[in-house]
Structure 1
Amino acid sequence: MDEAADWLLRLREAAGDPRVRDDFSAWISRSSEHHAAWHRVRESWHLLGEGKPVYEHVWRPRPLQAPSIGVGKGPRVRPGNHSRVTRRRWQWAATTSAIGLAACLLVVVVPSLLLRLEADHLTTTAQSRLVTLEDGTTVYLAADSAIKTDFSANRRQVRLLAGEAFFDVIRNPGRPFVVDASGVKVEVTGTAFDVRLSSSATQVELARGAVGVSFDAAQRGSLARLAPGQMLVVDRKSGAMTKSDIAPEDIGAWREGRLFVNDATIGAVVEQIQRYHTAWIAVPDVTLAQQTVTGLYDLRDPDRALRALVQPYGGKIREVSRFARIVSRL
């Protein structure tokens, strides 16, 4: 799906480039999974009203024809009223199913496409990437992460759009460096720190230097200052800030394939592991998802990490297929 989304954007940006078309043809013909992913991504994009689809012939299904009724080589028999009613019901059911599928595809695919349009740098599932910004600052992007940069003469700003990143900032007192992670702002002049963004919280871990962390949505615009070896978790719903100590080797531990969490819910940890797992992970047991854990998990083996995460609470991992995992206590 990630590759298909990338191809969609490349084809839109270079629609007349024969080399891009040839490369795309080679990619889509490589496997049935590529063809299916392209079908889903392109159809979802078309539902947004983006005009006639590129490579429409690749994904648009052939129109269905109503079956004729006959015996052997004799003449065809025209369907009766019963057949017409059955056909209308079938068409209604097919249309309803298509609308439902399209809605699901919009929920799953469109946010990923919009993120790609907005981001300047991004990674996909289980992929990490080292980016050097124009001022020499290095940003190490974790899996399934994205950033957007906005540099001016007197300010350097980076928005963490998704996932996690480790920043090693070039010092420049006259040009502060600010990271914005869903309203939580980390401001520095030169330092090294990690920022993790989840659906409900933003976490900052400081390896070197000093940072100020603010959250405008919190009461009185709360400001917290961190020293090396400290971490701060900001609950973006309540505005609560929780500061604690962290071992230097655990700061940005994902760079070495390890995930360190401190008093985090199982649901939140699963959300982090999901970025390293190619299968969709579901935790339908709400009580289990709300249990808290502190530990270190192996991101190089996401299934093993999931088992270690939930076993203390009697949880099990059920492999529905290579595309899905269900976490429960049943």
Structure 2
Amino acid sequence: MSIPNSPDPSKSRLSDEAAHWCMRVHESDFGDQERERFDHWLASDPAHKREFDAMMEIWTLSEFLPTAPLPVPEPDTRRRSRRPLLAAALLALGLPLIGFIGWEQSWIPSSYQRYQSDASIHTVTLPDGSRVQLNLASSLSFANFKDRRSVTLNQGEAYFEVTHDANHPFIVNAGQGQIRVTGTHFNVWTYRDQVVVTLTEGSVKVINDRNRPDQAADLSPGMQASYDLRNNPPQISVASAATALAWRDGKLILDDLTLSDALPRINAYLNSPIRIADRNTAQLRIGGIYNTSEIAGLVQNLPKVLPVSLNRNDEGETVIRSNPRYAP
């Protein structure tokens, strides 16, 4: 995010909008209606996404800095209190002395990298030797601290093969929670506030709320933990590795799911999310194996395999509606 030599009102306004949305998406009261407005703002102009991504990078770094204990504030005050952190992160990164002190105190990382995949699966090797495979339209950042390795999965899905280091734990921040390991193989899927962790090797501790580390679940191979803002602690189930990792072969497996459960997995591959009209539609079931590069075609063909129709709402979004007189 560049800073011009002379004020540019349009640039300043765009930065303010990006900062506003950056703070709002991190608040617990960020609801579905506001999420729809944010999605519309993000998709309306490529410059909006570029500015928001730059603001998210600053936000990620600002969260590494310590904050003094404060009384519990009102919601609006809490949101405003994040603004100084954004400036503090930039200041700290620019001053070597503060940077050295920050490293010694495990506040500031010695290195920071950001990785992103767009239209193809992308495999990266992190500075610690760990390997990460990124699904389509996924992004993450890596920061190396004195006492830990910290990854933030900003969006999408990733499969981790973590280099073992018992004295330097590997922590993945996803949604409101964390996954903590020392060396293991696991998959993390995210969509908005939803997170699903599937373990294939080793062990991990899944925490669905970073502010409540006591609410945690320990996974062993073949297990899966899911959480969102409503789950406390994480929900545990037996995992199907073939289903969870099918994306690595370019496949999406829907194993007789309701549309309400399948839609987040479908929407993760679409530029604009599709909506469900009502409860009856949400209870319809769908199954099959699909190419992740052809999910838009799956949506268009839904009326051929389910008793539904596709329509546009006032915002131009695709809405799935069950046909009249159909009861699941």
Q: Report the TM-score range of the alignment, normalised by the length of the smaller protein.
A: 0.5 to 0.7
Q: Tell me which of 114, 120, 132 is aligned to 2:52.
A: 114
Q: Deviations over 1:49-87 (max 9, x none)?
A: 68xxxxxxxxxxxxxxxxxxxxxxxxxxxxxxxxxxxxx
For 1:1-330, list aligned pairs within 5 A: 12=2, 47-48=13-14, 104-105=40-41, 108-109=44-45, 110=48, 113-119=51-57, 120-124=114-118, 126-216=119-209, 221-260=214-253, 266-267=259-260, 269-278=262-271, 280-287=272-279, 290-291=282-283, 295-298=287-290, 299-306=292-299, 314-317=307-310, 325-330=318-323
State the Cα distance separating 1:202 from its structure 2 match: 1.0
What CA distance in whole angstroms lies between the structure 2 residues aligned with 1:203 and 1:312? 27
Q: How many residues align?
A: 240
SS in 1 for 2:247: helix
State the Cα distance separating 1:117 from its structure 2 match: 4.6
Work out whether residues 180 and 205 of structure 2, in 8 Å CA contact, stay in contact via their aligned partners in 1: yes
Higher mean alpha-carbon deviation, 268-277 vs 161-170, is at: 268-277
Work out whether residues 218 and 238 of structure 1, in 8 Å CA contact, stay in contact via their aligned partners in 2: no
Q: Say if 1:149 and 1:312 are closer, same or farther in 2 by CA, change over 3 A.
A: same
Higher mean alpha-carbon deviation, 247-256 vs 185-194, is at: 247-256
State the Cα distance separating 1:123 from its structure 2 match: 2.5
Matched to 1:205, the amino acid is T
What CA distance in whole angstroms lies between the structure 1 residues aligned with 2:202 and 2:262? 28
Matched to 1:48, the amino acid is L
Matched to 1:115, the amino acid is D
What CA distance in whole angstroms lies between the structure 2 residues aligned with 1:308 and 1:102? 28
> If the length of structure 1 is used for normalisation, what is the TM-score?
0.60
What CA distance in whole angstroms lies between the structure 2 residues aligned with 1:49 and 1:189? 38
> Which ranges in structure 2 are unaligned for 5 or more consecutive residues?
17-36, 58-113, 324-328
Which residue matches 2:66?
Answer: none
Q: Say if 1:107 and 1:194 are closer, same or farther in 2 by CA, change over 3 A.
A: same
SS in 2 for 1:302: helix
What CA distance in whole angstroms lies between the structure 2 residues aligned with 1:244 and 1:160? 22
> Which ranges in structure 1 are unaligned for 5 or more consecutive residues?
1-8, 16-42, 51-100
State the Cα distance separating 1:297 from its structure 2 match: 3.7
Q: Say if 1:161 and 1:103 are closer, same or farther in 2 by CA, change over 3 A.
A: closer
Q: Deviations over 1:277-305 (max 9, x none)?
A: 35x34325032564375745412321454
Matched to 1:118, the amino acid is M
Matched to 2:174, the amino acid is A
What CA distance in whole angstroms lies between the structure 1 residues aligned with 2:4 and 2:10? 20
Q: Say if 1:173 and 1:300 are closer, same or farther in 2 by CA, change over 3 A.
A: same
Q: Deviations over 1:23-74 (max 9, x none)?
A: xxxxxxxxxxxxxxxxxxxx98564268xxxxxxxxxxxxxxxxxxxxxxxx
SS in 2 for 1:175: coil
What CA distance in whole angstroms lies between the structure 2 residues aligned with 1:149 and 1:46? 29
Q: Deviations over 1:247-279 (max 9, x none)?
A: 33223221112224578653453333233335x
Query: How high is the sequence identity, in percent, across the aligned residues?
Result: 23
RMSD: 3.9
Matched to 1:252, the amino acid is L
Work out whether residues 275 and 319 of structure 2, in 8 Å CA contact, stay in contact via their aligned partners in 1: yes
SS in 1 for 2:266: helix
Which residue matches 1:58?
Answer: none
> If the length of structure 2 is used for normalisation, what is the TM-score?
0.60
Q: Say if 1:139 and 1:102 are closer, same or farther in 2 by CA, change over 3 A.
A: closer
What CA distance in whole angstroms lies between the structure 1 residues aligned with 2:286 and 2:238? 13
